[in-house]
Structure 1
Amino acid sequence: MNIVILDDYQDAVRKLACARKLDPYPAKVYTNNVKGVGQLAVRLRDADIVVLIRERTAITRALLEKLPRLKLIAQTGAVGPHIDVQACTEHGVAVAEGVGDPVAPAELTWALIMAAMRRIPQYVANLKHGAWQQSGLKAASMPPNFGLGMVLRGRTLGIWGYGRIGRLVAGYGRAFGMRVLVWGREASRVQAAADGFEVAPDKAALFRDSDVLSLHLRLTDETRGCVRFDDLATMKPTALLVNTARAELIEPDALVAALNRGRPGMAAVDVFESEPILQGHALLRLENCVCTPHIGFVELDSYETYFSAAFDNVVNYIKGTPTHIVNPGALQVRRPLQSRSSSRPTPL
């Protein structure tokens, strides 16, 4: 069975220790990303199994209709809306869910908070151009001495979304001597209160009172666009908005407009509506926005965890004992294994 691993931007997967699990099987790794259904159909035409790296490639009904050979999608991490599970079931394509770990994205969130609040990226960039102790950040819309940066101790950390990642970030805030203010669903607010954190009276207070506001919501129909320009406009001109969750939580163009108007004064983002982003992306042009290329889960330990689980699902499927299938109905309609002459993929 031919295995294809998509979107390994750093050519890291084949060097992982867990990659040895696929040694007995033909596999090909692609290090670039293609978006069009036609291009993907050509790339995947000989694939029996596709391994997805998070949400980097969408599996749509239109694509599935062009892939009669495909039998299994092995997802690294949780299955999300990037996979049309219903269409997969109808086409006999099983979807195996992986595992995740909240530590890496939580730590990246905290790294971005510290870097942005102390203006580290701006200081580093200017130092490389010969400017000593210059962060820039002197636009007329910014408060006096905004470029100096600020410590975290004694300031308010707002957390919207108190799941596994949000809980860790809240704990980091407490360790740094911050007032932690939580908002979310009722169950999240109850849990936050039980953990000893202050619960915001409403969403408006969360945006108004936070010096740092970090988003940790799942993307659903309900949460899509839940952060509006009017919400951002109520934030302090010295405040920092952090989004390591999903770009679509913020209504389109609202963050760029808000940053240009100085409320909030700064943002740090790891996620974008379309990825990879282009060099001229509006957020990249703003000096008061720190951008990273969706690396919340991109570190060695997480990769070993994610891919080890995905490769276990692949091997178990090949051996006839499929595991962690989210659409077991697909196993009843899948086509039998078929032999087809084609160019052999390169080994992993």
Structure 2
Amino acid sequence: MKVHILDDWFDTLRGLPCFDLLKDHDVTVWTDHEPDEAKLAARLADADCVVLFRERTKVTRTLLDQLPTLRLISQRGAYPHVDVAACTDHGVLLCSNTGADGANYAAAELTFGLILSAMRQLPQQMASAKAGGWQMGVGRTLRGRTLGLYGYGKIGRAVADYARAFGMKVLWWASDAGLERARADGEPVAESREAFFAGSDVVSLHLRLTDTTRGIVTGADLAQMSPRSVLVNTSRAGLIAPGALLAGLNAGRPGMAAVDVFDTEPLTDAADPLLSHPNLIATPHIGFVTEDEFDKQFADIFDQVNAYAAGAPIHMINPDAAGQ
């Protein structure tokens, strides 16, 4: 099959063990992002299969209209960026392993790195030292402080393990089902949503972005947080109501935020009011960007390509498209 891989910005995949899984296919790797849909369609004109790099490119109905040879889209995880109904209408099968075993430890590690960075002022201290200013302030110790984790999933539980190793207290909030699982596991659950946000020195979000969770963290939630608290988000920007984080930082509640995700990505406007906020620590959506995590994720993705080529597709999201 003619397989096109999109958005491998640092040409990483060709150097990973998993890439050998595609040895029997005609593979094209695109190492830039093409935002113009017509130009993207021209690139993919001969594609039988498109491999998506997380959510970097949206697959719309109008794009699919221009790709008559496309039969398979292979990716991993959630797929809010893919018009599944349009895929089915065009006879394009979407395969995505949404129930992969194990936590995304790369994202969990980055989460805790951001917590440390915010509490110890690491970006600011580094900038001051490199500018010849030496120390610029006084950070805070994690031991004895409370980490509030919103979302009782695999990544959140991995972060909880790291926090406890640092002597932090852990407090949970989640959906009703998530809270029930937490209680069954003997985990400490906040008495109320208000108590969760008010009682946490650090709040970290670990929810999938769905229609139900979009905007689930509101301005009222952030207003409950202490002026010395930190909000961390390595999940999805859309979990926070539009404009609420910037308004909260401007109001001093929370006192600081450390985020890996933005409503617009890639965000390249250095003057963006959230990105440039003095109380924001930012990384450019690198929670999953490690060689180890890429090899694990793309092994699944390439296995899906091979399964389809063998006539036995796996992880089908829209199986009705398979027989078209």
- Tell me how far 1:279 sits from its aligned partner: 3.1
Alignment of 1:166-185 (within 5 A): 166-185=156-175
Aligned to 1:83: 82
Alignment of 1:1-348 (within 5 A): 1-75=1-75, 77-98=76-97, 99=100, 101-134=103-136, 147-280=137-270, 281-333=272-324
Separation in structure 1 between the aligned mates of residue 180 and residue 261 of structure 2, nearest angstrom: 28
8 Å Cα contact 2:104-2:293 kept in structure 1? no
- Tell me how far 1:24 sits from its aligned partner: 2.7
Asked which structure has the greater RCO (Cα within 8 Å, sep 6+), the reply is: 1
Q: Percent identity?
A: 52
- 1:160-198, Cα deviation, whole Å (9 max, x unpaired): 111111111122222222221111112211222233321
Separation in structure 2 between the aligned mates of residue 15 and residue 283 of structure 1, nearest angstrom: 35
- 1:28-78, Cα deviation, whole Å (9 max, x unpaired): 111111223223212222211000011111111221111111000010x21
Aligned to 1:346: none
More displaced 10-residue stretch of structure 1: 232-241 or 81-90 = 81-90
- AA matched with 1:69: T
Q: Secondary structure at the match of 2:63?
A: helix
8 Å Cα contact 1:283-1:291 kept in structure 2? no
RMSD of aligned Cα (Å): 1.4
- AA matched with 1:34: E
- Tell me how far 1:150 sits from its aligned partner: 0.7
- Tell me how far 1:308 sits from its aligned partner: 1.0
Separation in structure 2 between the aligned mates of residue 262 and residue 85 of structure 1, nearest angstrom: 41
How many residue pairs get aligned? The number is 320
Q: Secondary structure at the match of 1:59?
A: coil
More displaced 10-residue stretch of structure 1: 207-216 or 100-109 = 100-109
TM-score, normalised relative to structure 1: 0.88
More displaced 10-residue stretch of structure 1: 274-283 or 299-308 = 274-283
- AA matched with 1:91: H
Structure 2 unpaired stretches of 5+: none
More displaced 10-residue stretch of structure 1: 28-37 or 53-62 = 28-37
Separation in structure 1 between the aligned mates of residue 105 and residue 183 of structure 2, nearest angstrom: 22
Q: Secondary structure at the match of 2:274?
A: helix
Bigger-Rg structure (1/2): 1
Separation in structure 1 between the aligned mates of residue 205 and residue 195 of structure 2, nearest angstrom: 15
- 1:192-212, Cα deviation, whole Å (9 max, x unpaired): 223332111221111111100
More displaced 10-residue stretch of structure 1: 200-209 or 91-100 = 91-100
- Tell me how far 1:247 sits from its aligned partner: 0.2
Q: Secondary structure at the match of 1:242?
A: strand
8 Å Cα contact 1:96-1:326 kept in structure 2? yes
8 Å Cα contact 1:110-1:169 kept in structure 2? yes
Structure 1 unpaired stretches of 5+: 135-146, 334-348
- Tell me how far 1:236 sits from its aligned partner: 0.6
Aligned to 1:343: none
Separation in structure 1 between the aligned mates of residue 205 and residue 319 of structure 2, nearest angstrom: 33
Q: Secondary structure at the match of 1:332?
A: coil
- AA matched with 1:123: Q
- AA matched with 2:289: V
Separation in structure 1 between the aligned mates of residue 253 and residue 71 of structure 2, nearest angstrom: 49
Separation in structure 2 between the aligned mates of residue 324 and residue 277 of structure 1, nearest angstrom: 32
